[in-house]
Structure 1
């Protein structure tokens, strides 16, 4: 105790006692935390009430794995699709590059063609990075293409070290460090993917390994990033939860005890227990500058942290979008639906067809009076998605008119009122549906079909088409 130094922490402006060093604990049998992960039972969340402080970095950002982890769970994107999505990510990230990087496979010629085309765009952000097999041949490929950084898989739980790799902890560490030296020798910056970190021995393996990484970084003077991969989605954000499931505990340990600076720490989460977004936000709050995401959460099993979710998490934490253009999120969703053929689940926040649609009659009544009552924010402004009121037997003429105006994005001068032949005809159809015993809400497609048929019968153009103001012919004495 007497020999440990006392230093000033410039972040907290408090004197701190130098922490103990953490040597590798080279166990003979794997520690699989059977008390937390019994397998034949639901995993357990235990607490020891050891709470670590918030440590929000000065700068935080998003990185993208749409073309890596996202592609592992779906049919491969075409080269053209990858380049188009990459262009969208550049626009979404804005002039400050809040979407900092995007990672790619390099295995096939198609993968490499997409990488080269994206690099030819000349964008500063997202930076094009790779994810490769850990061998010298692939490192040379990274360098030849002109990339500055690559991801390397360094699985860190005893589940992987003992059961998959058939090694001891020391053998695994020496194996990984040798690969990382090979990467550093040719001048490429390694990004170490600590797979399955939420089932790993944090102080017996992860922190000793990260200490070795920091020694290599000091020697080679090349940045080494640490990506904390919650591969199975076991991470929790609860204060006082025990490691290895505690996200605050993991980030604190790597930052404080292994000396990895915030700008080199990244969180990569999965959604197996519905915690991908909250865990990613928690990683930001406790010291990680980067959170790794995939568009619409597309990824292994239950998926990754949705990139669009973290855009709005950023805005809520910082009080600003810092130049991110959130309208691009809607354009991306439409591109996925129309060009890629991916169906976004209708209740998906921000991008699903129904995310800002109000169905309950009493809610619809309130929303028609003031949309702030039942809309999360100005979705028209931020997502080009005006709030919708679903049509049912309680909607009345005003509700149907509102649906038409918002669904077809009619400008103010072309909006129709409840006193129009079209609205009256649609309401008559709606009334017949419910009089015949229907109890479910009408779908958008049903309404589009009946509106199209009604326009033909009335000999008027469809809403939003040339001549749409003709819809404004009124019908007297109409009521809700």
Structure 2
């Protein structure tokens, strides 16, 4: 029984339109859910409209509405076209006395009368004990037994504030199965899933769940986590089309505007994402090494992300997927730069990887020019000045230059320093921040010309000056190397 549209919608800040509820209900029915708690008919006109839309949609799933022990609630359920009512009765003394201001006998009588009233109107009744985990279990047992005698089709044990343990569940549940029994758990202490699994093992025949574990406070038992726990750990076929789980999860997240935790099991962004070099290497040989299930089983795909834990195998795999084929030396340099970014606390995106690969693969293994060192001084009290020491055709050249800014100074001194190899002109300079933030990878593109030949080159670093120097140096090498190759050809 999925209660995303009722208990899940009680998540603070969540409010769904009737049309949105119908869209989610359709997806729930399509994936294989048996019962959909579409809302609470007493809550509002919009709720009644949503229940009516769902009940008239011809879905295979049963359409259920939440109901208090009041005949007026039952009448509205009938008017809305619901198939069943989730008839919730407070059963702990705390709820009976403090919330209701009544006695056990009064609540007991209300439960029986409302159950009969609903059955007379041909509704399926699931009689639910609210705060059952804190109730006198003998009182709960008597109420459930009498409820079945008065026509209740199903029963439900509610751990309303998440205080049960699997051990207590196994003790309580077998004594209450006078009819098909549901388990309804909240996740306040993180026990919703294990308590639900324990209840199913102890005799409960139905679980109440919400997509993404939505619900008040810490939420309810997560639909996708329960389904895959039963399927994978207990080899139990739930009848749910698991390959549609991720699509359903993202639909609910989008419509409720409740984002998924990145580390959430099954549907979180990191559930099938790997960075560690050891893990990535193992996955490439056999995905079972570091994954409990194939991501496709739940409608996902595997992702290899890069960072300081990445090894050459995972970087190579990512580059291949992006269409790059670096040689060994280029791959080593790309890995080195990715690790440097990771060590700086930066998340390395695909765009970052592409920018780094483009920059590295334009550098030649035997450059005409190579940088020994460069220094840039800039500030509001000094003229931006850059100095470099380079190797030009094997000869060491040192130079310095000023500019309108640190980048301008750096590029001018580069041009001056390579004049021994031929004049090279900077035709165009363009910079992009690949990702947002002050620590973004900077992608610099330059256009250089010499003797009528024009080439474009790129550099990618987190430092704009380093990226600019790299782009210009790479382009100069290509121009000068091309000339050397031409001369070699002429000699031949």
Question: Which interval holds the TM-score relative to the shorter structure?
Answer: 0.5 to 0.7
Q: Tell whether the 8 Å contact from 2:276 to 2:311 is kept in structure 1 after alignment.
A: no
What SS class does the counterpart of residue 192 from structure 1 fall into? Answer: strand
Q: Tell whether the 8 Å contact from 2:245 to 2:298 is kept in structure 1 after alignment.
A: yes
1:86 and 2:21 are equivalent in the alignment? no
Q: Which residue does the alignment assign to 1:364?
A: 280
Q: Tell whether the 8 Å contact from 1:155 to 1:161 is kept in structure 2 after alignment.
A: yes
Alignment of 1:64-463 (within 5 A): 64-74=2-12, 75-93=14-32, 98-106=33-41, 107-125=43-61, 127-203=62-138, 205-217=139-151, 223-238=152-167, 246-255=168-177, 260-261=178-179, 264-316=180-232, 319=235, 321=237, 323-338=239-254, 340-380=256-296, 382-403=297-318, 415=321, 419-420=325-326, 431-432=336-337, 434-435=339-340, 438-440=343-345, 443=347, 446-451=348-353
Q: CA 1:115–1:402 in 2, change beyond 3 Å: closer, same or farther?
A: farther
How many residues matched?
359
Where does structure 2 lack aligned partners over 5 or more consecutive residues? 363-492
Q: Tell whether the 8 Å contact from 2:334 to 2:356 is kept in structure 1 after alignment.
A: no
TM-score normalised by L of structure 2: 0.66
RMSD: 2.9
Distance across 2 between alignment mates of 1:229 and 1:187? 24
Where does structure 1 lack aligned partners over 5 or more consecutive residues? 1-62, 218-222, 239-245, 406-414, 460-480
Distance across 2 between alignment mates of 1:164 and 1:428? 67
Distance across 2 between alignment mates of 1:436 and 1:453? 13
Q: What is the CA deviation profile of residues 70-118 of structure 1, one whole-angstrom value per residue up to 9, with x for unaligned ones?
A: 011132112232122112212211xxxx533334222222222222222
Q: CA 1:281–1:225 in 2, change beyond 3 Å: closer, same or farther?
A: same
Q: What is the CA deviation profile of residues 305-364 of structure 1, one whole-angstrom value per residue up to 9, with x for unaligned ones?
A: 001112113324663545422121111233245554321001100000001223333223
What SS class does the counterpart of residue 148 from structure 2 fall into? Answer: helix
Shift of 1:420: 4.6
Q: What is the CA deviation profile of residues 218-275 of structure 1, one whole-angstrom value per residue up to 9, with x for unaligned ones?
A: xxxxx4321100011111112xxxxxxx1122211112xxxx13xx210000111211
Q: Tell whether the 8 Å contact from 1:388 to 1:403 is kept in structure 2 after alignment.
A: no
Distance across 1 between alignment mates of 2:339 and 2:232? 42
Q: Tell whether the 8 Å contact from 1:104 to 1:128 is kept in structure 2 after alignment.
A: no
Distance across 2 between alignment mates of 1:173 and 1:313? 36
Structure of larger gyration radius: 2
Q: Tell whether the 8 Å contact from 2:311 to 2:335 is kept in structure 1 after alignment.
A: no
Distance across 2 between alignment mates of 1:189 and 1:313? 29
Q: Which residue does the alignment assign to 1:39?
A: none
Q: What is the CA deviation profile of residues 30-88 of structure 1, one whole-angstrom value per residue up to 9, with x for unaligned ones?
A: xxxxxxxxxxxxxxxxxxxxxxxxxxxxxxxxx10001110111321122321221122
Distance across 2 between alignment mates of 1:215 and 1:393? 65
Distance across 2 between alignment mates of 1:176 and 1:268? 19
Distance across 1 between alignment mates of 2:124 and 2:341? 68
More strand by share: 2
